Structure 1
Amino acid sequence: MSFQHTDSIALSELEGRAPTHSDLESRGITSSKEKDFKEDVKETVADSPVDSDVLIRDGVQRKLGQRHIQMYIAGTIGTGLFLGSGGALHTAGPLGALLAYVIVGTVTYSMICSLGEMTSFAPISGTFPHYAARWVDPALGFAVGWNFWYQSVTSIPTEITAATILLTFWDENINNQKIYTAVICVAVISINIFGVRIFCSTAEFIFSIIKILLIIALLIAGLIIDLGGGPSGERIGFRYWRNPGPFNRAGLVESNIATDQFLAFVQIFVQAAFSFGGMEAIAIAASETESPRRNVAKAIGRVFWRILIFYVFGILMIGMLVAYDDPALLTDTGNAAQSPFVIAMDRAGVKVFPHIINAAVFTSAFSAGNTTLYSSSRILYGLALRGQAPRFLTYCTKKGLPLFAVLISSSFAFLSFMRVSKGSEGVFEWLVNIVTIGSLISWLTINVTFLFFRRGMIAQGIDMRKNVYHNRYQPWLALWGVLWLSMFILVNGYAVFFQWNTTDFLVAYINIPIFAALYFGYKIIMRTKIWKPHEMDLITGIPSIEETELPREPPHTIGGKIAAVLF
């Protein structure tokens, strides 16, 4: 069966019926072609590798506007950028950390571009696990879907725990942590249950604006201090790049300084990648976004600049302000005290910033918990739509909320209590660490899926340049991502081979056999196959542009024009 592309009727519009003459006429299909087209639709429904009534069962609603999906990228910024960047600086030095963030930034961009092309072509529920199932192998969609889900639901208590610890900056009474944990859990779950509109328009949008303003303020303040504009009047420049130096050592190869510095540089690739984690969520929200093709394309077009400003300039600034051997970088408080930005402000004599930063980072952790819960519930919902998760999870309320998928994912938020219970801290940390590589596996799968998708589009005579979003540097971007992501996954736990520790080895690599078991287990049981280019389904359940895109309304006021540029 060959699924040839047509600009005719999406099956979602037919609602399970055969296309009528008026349907066909409205899409420019003449009566001489009507019989052939009806036969193609009937054959597509019968032989499609995708359940033909998936979109009919899909109950989510397109309620997110352009500004919401623009801010969704900022919503994924958690404590990794504000607090974790100090660990990257200490491990590899200022130049090593900068190079690692630049490389990981390009890899993140490659993944976003690959996902953007597929999402703008098919803005449907299930997103990249669904794409993997219908364009590569149903078993791959099953494996990456469950991989992303369990990696996401484990991240929810991580962010909640981070938010709780941040509160200790003002309240050091450890007995109150359980109360704070309970309140934050209930708040995160409630925001998601109230629905997608409230989730993004009132909560996530505000939190994202706070994070963006904080980052911009920190970069400006850091530049002023570096140039000698702080209370002390001391000009720093690139002093710390000269002493203690641009690279730190890993402490694994004492006899060779250059090799040891290289190992320290390699060591932070995965750590840097986690600071970028969650950006794939922009595609997950596409099925609930107004004019998803246009808005996703616009958002992805700005990802490059956000990576450059937020991450690359951010790590460059802290490398100029703080020495990698500063004792304060080794303090694992979990709150603003360990932020390299706070350390820099303290060194410069600015005392008001720590409280402001801690408050903003708290909203960042809380916001990231919101975003992660949203993403995990929608992936679980997409798995259920494809029959790869229990069918009851497809239930949606009248307002388009996949209630049971949200409730199941929400239950994992309460794992955050393990962090404040005696005897459970080690279990919690181990649970978190074994799934941290899951996001990199998801990114690798996205790029691989795009390469298959591109083969199918070319084989079926579809001009990818006519897609709403198209990157002229493909497929080289996807290949770049595949190369680096494969390396990140393999070298994640390389240090264990210098000083063997079985627990550390399992923590670093157990996610690989878990993913392989999901893939091959489903493949053997369901007897799936890898789709050939002419077998790929590029029609079923994919809404047409007319169905998803609203007329473009240009802004008429000054405020509207400014908002159009920003969002």
Structure 2
Amino acid sequence: MDKKWRASKSSQEIVETVACDDRYDFDFHDLDRVQRRLKQRHVQMIAVAGTIGTGLFLGSGNALQVAGPLGALIAYALVATVAYSSLCCIAEMTTWAPISGTFPHYASRWVDPALGFAVGWNYFYANAVTVPVEISASVILMTFWDENKNHAAIYTAIIVVFVCAINIFGVQYFGESEFFFSIVKLVLIIVLLLTGLIVDLGGSPDREVIGFKFWANPGAVNRANLVGDLGADRFLAILNVVIQAAFSFKGMELVCIAASETENPRRNIAKAVRRVFYRILVFYMLGILMIGMLVPFNDPALLSRVGTAAQSPFVIALNRAGVKAFPHLINAGILASALSSASSFLFASSRVLYGLSIRGQAPKWMAHTTKKGLPIAAVLTSSAFALMSFMTVSAGVETVFNWFVNVVTTGGFIGWFSINLTYVYFHRGMVAQGYNLKKNIYNNPLQPYLAYWGMGWTLFFVLMNGYAVFFKFETSLFLTAYINIPIFAVLYFGYKWKYSTRIWKPLEMDFVTGIPTVEETELPPDPPVTFFEKVGAVLF
């Protein structure tokens, strides 16, 4: 065994690092076959795509109806901070080690190989199951134009083929599709925000100035109708929306998962993550604020669960104001969001599965790639989950959709918790071994407290995900809310028992082996020359 040793700078004690054990060999240069084909504009738009989706366009209406305008704003703002903390944690680790396997590999390398195994498989199936969720949403959106239920299977087949083809053709096609979908979503949300502001200020055909009158009547925060105490009941209503909001923000970390296939990954990911905060603030927070101004939470139309643009609070508000031109445009934009999300989650699940395979934590054949660096075996395996969307054709679209949402939401919380936990260990090890974290290409000055914030709230979310079931117990709802917890425990303790893994101490962590240097990944930036290049540099 080729032993590797590191001397502690504080005590000069000779310690054995992770790389000393062949079972945890991280020298992957002869294994990792993916290629860096995603460009800066792709990365920037993937970051945008991760923050705008069906949760904002459709799910925000249910959030408004459940918690009221202020309650929905508080819930989305809280989840936004937790999602942002998780993104900052994974971004800092990724800019240090832009390699395949992403945060499950970081968990194996810097916390415990058993945690990496459990996190990787949890994240894989959570994202793989989200693919049919988004495909089901796309099929529902098609009913806005075609109400014939007999066509659902045809639309499902078409969308499944389309989403899988984007990923099978290669990462460059995935990047271009995300670039296009993101532009559609950006244009749509900007148009909706501007139109909503005009309507609110009295620019609609009926000339009514709305302002914040719905915050006064029927009120700023709705009740959950679960307990008698008014304050506690309103808190439970907000908590209910927190769980839904988490599904809306799920997938923000995709930009870091794509690091091993990104040109100049350290510079581009750092740039994208620094701008995500402002995109969340502008698009999500202004979007939630706007619908709370335009639609009262007791509007009967918000009770609709048709899953099309007719359910969107933006459409409801514009219809109420006499503006009838937007529903078809909005439905098309939401459809683009659903297709983008399905493609993104398929990409994420396949890359995590590929990373598990090259680390020996998944079957070896799943590490097979094409000559162009596409992990085709992992992509095809993940694509098979898309076929689950055909369940909606016979089992009822809304029932299956909601069941999937509940399952994957818990998986997403566990993933975020693991990212923040891994960063805490990463930070501890870097400090112990004398590394200057501020010299990393991306470093958040609020760390490690940002990671502690994310850990605390995600653990709370995991435990409270299905709280409503205890007021009116239903076995199926309880299982979908909490089944991921025992699954994760079995994965972690099962792997730990079989391989006798242990939690790494700070001085044992390996921050060097198999990690490309900055000189190996980063090319000198080309300064913009023309007017359009300068505009692109600002936007992307």
Q: TM-score range by the shorter chain?
A: over 0.9
Q: How many residues align?
A: 532
User: Does structure 2 conserve the Cα–Cα contact (< 8 Å) formed by 1:130 and 1:141?
Assistant: yes
Counterpart residue number, 2:310: 337
Does the residue aligned with 1:268 lie in a helix, a strand or coil? helix
Once residues 264 and 494 of structure 1 are traced to their aligned partners in structure 2, the CA distance between those partners, rounded to angstroms, is 11
User: Does structure 1 conserve the Cα–Cα contact (< 8 Å) formed by 2:26 and 2:359?
Assistant: no
User: Does structure 2 conserve the Cα–Cα contact (< 8 Å) formed by 1:5 and 1:538?
Assistant: no
Does the residue aligned with 2:185 lie in a helix, a strand or coil? helix
User: Does structure 1 conserve the Cα–Cα contact (< 8 Å) formed by 2:19 and 2:510?
Assistant: no
Gap regions ≥5 residues in structure 2: none
Counterpart residue number, 1:17: none
Once residues 506 and 426 of structure 2 are traced to their aligned partners in structure 1, the CA distance between those partners, rounded to angstroms, is 8
Which one of the candidate residues 472, 480, 486 is aligned to 2:459? 486
Once residues 180 and 452 of structure 1 are traced to their aligned partners in structure 2, the CA distance between those partners, rounded to angstroms, is 46
User: Does structure 1 conserve the Cα–Cα contact (< 8 Å) formed by 2:132 and 2:342?
Assistant: yes
One-letter amino acid of the counterpart of residue 304, structure 1: F
Seen in structure 2, the aligned counterparts of structure 1 residues 2 and 452 have a Cα distance that, compared at 3 Å, is farther
> Is 2:12 the partner of 1:56?
no
One-letter amino acid of the counterpart of residue 216, structure 1: I
Counterpart residue number, 1:23: none
Seen in structure 2, the aligned counterparts of structure 1 residues 49 and 229 have a Cα distance that, compared at 3 Å, is farther
Counterpart residue number, 1:137: 112
**Cα deviation 1:469-519 (Å, max 9, x = unaligned):** 011111111111111111111111111222222222222111111111111
Which one of the candidate residues 439, 447, 451 is aligned to 1:466? 439
Counterpart residue number, 1:123: 98
Counterpart residue number, 1:29: none
TM norm structure 1? 0.91
> Is 524-533 or 419-428 further displaced after alignment?
419-428
Counterpart residue number, 1:197: 172
What's the CA shift for 1:377? Answer: 0.4
Does the residue aligned with 1:95 lie in a helix, a strand or coil? helix
What's the CA shift for 1:47? Answer: 3.8
User: Does structure 2 conserve the Cα–Cα contact (< 8 Å) formed by 1:81 and 1:275?
Assistant: yes
> Is 2:183 the partner of 1:213?
no
Once residues 412 and 272 of structure 1 are traced to their aligned partners in structure 2, the CA distance between those partners, rounded to angstroms, is 24
Once residues 2 and 479 of structure 1 are traced to their aligned partners in structure 2, the CA distance between those partners, rounded to angstroms, is 31
Does the residue aligned with 1:251 lie in a helix, a strand or coil? coil
User: Does structure 2 conserve the Cα–Cα contact (< 8 Å) formed by 1:49 and 1:134?
Assistant: no
Which one of the candidate residues 73, 77, 92 is aligned to 2:67? 92
What's the CA shift for 1:163? Answer: 0.7
Once residues 424 and 266 of structure 1 are traced to their aligned partners in structure 2, the CA distance between those partners, rounded to angstroms, is 25
> Is 2:489 the partner of 1:516?
yes
Counterpart residue number, 1:66: 40
One-letter amino acid of the counterpart of residue 174, structure 1: K
Once residues 228 and 49 of structure 1 are traced to their aligned partners in structure 2, the CA distance between those partners, rounded to angstroms, is 67
Counterpart residue number, 2:284: 311
What's the CA shift for 1:263? Answer: 1.1
Counterpart residue number, 1:234: 208
**Cα deviation 1:32-65 (Å, max 9, x = unaligned):** xxxxxxx99x998544763244232100000111
Does the residue aligned with 2:409 lie in a helix, a strand or coil? coil
Q: Equivalent pairs: percent with the same residue?
A: 60
User: Does structure 2 conserve the Cα–Cα contact (< 8 Å) formed by 1:2 and 1:534?
Assistant: no
Once residues 43 and 117 of structure 1 are traced to their aligned partners in structure 2, the CA distance between those partners, rounded to angstroms, is 21
Counterpart residue number, 1:566: 539
> Is 2:265 the partner of 1:320?
no
One-letter amino acid of the counterpart of residue 468, structure 2: A
Larger radius of gyration: 1
Once residues 100 and 269 of structure 1 are traced to their aligned partners in structure 2, the CA distance between those partners, rounded to angstroms, is 5
Once residues 475 and 150 of structure 2 are traced to their aligned partners in structure 1, the CA distance between those partners, rounded to angstroms, is 34
Once residues 144 and 474 of structure 1 are traced to their aligned partners in structure 2, the CA distance between those partners, rounded to angstroms, is 22
Which one of the candidate residues 152, 156, 159 is aligned to 2:127? 152
Once residues 164 and 410 of structure 2 are traced to their aligned partners in structure 1, the CA distance between those partners, rounded to angstroms, is 25
Counterpart residue number, 1:555: 528
Once residues 348 and 428 of structure 1 are traced to their aligned partners in structure 2, the CA distance between those partners, rounded to angstroms, is 31
Seen in structure 2, the aligned counterparts of structure 1 residues 4 and 293 have a Cα distance that, compared at 3 Å, is farther
TM norm structure 2? 0.96
> Is 2:269 the partner of 1:269?
no
What's the CA shift for 1:257? Answer: 1.4
User: Does structure 2 conserve the Cα–Cα contact (< 8 Å) formed by 1:4 and 1:538?
Assistant: no
Does the residue aligned with 2:223 lie in a helix, a strand or coil? coil
One-letter amino acid of the counterpart of residue 190, structure 1: A
